[in-house]
Amino acid sequence: MQELGKTIPGEWEWVLDEIKQLIAELPLEGSRRLFELWKQIPERRTVQAGSRSPLEQLRNLLIRLSEHWLHYRVFDWQVDVPWTNNATEQVIGRMKMRSKTVWGYKTESGMIAGLMLAGSGVN
Of the two residues 9 and 118, the one the predictor is more confident about is 9
Task: Give residue-wise pLDDT tens across range 25-57.
Answer: 888 899 999 999 999 998 876 666 667 888 999
Same domain, 93 and 45: no
Q: Which domain holds residue 18?
A: 2-77
Cα–Cα distances in angstroms (integers) from residue 18 to residues 4, 25, 30, 80, 121, in the given order = 14, 11, 10, 30, 38
User: Cα separation of 13 and 117, whole Å?
Assistant: 45
> How many structural domains comprise the chain?
2
Q: Which candidate, 82, 109, 103, places its Cα nearest to that of 93?
A: 82
Q: Are residue 64 and residue 98 in the same domain, yes or no?
A: no
Claim to verify: residue 69 and residue 39 sit in the same structural domain? yes
Query: Are 95 and 39 within one domain?
Result: no
Answer yes or no: do 105 and 70 share one domain: no
Q: Do 43 and 102 reside in the same domain of the chain? A: no
- Binned at pLDDT 50, 70 and 90, residue 84 comes out as low
Q: 87 versus 20: which is more confidently predicted? A: 20
Q: Is 48 contained in some domain? A: yes
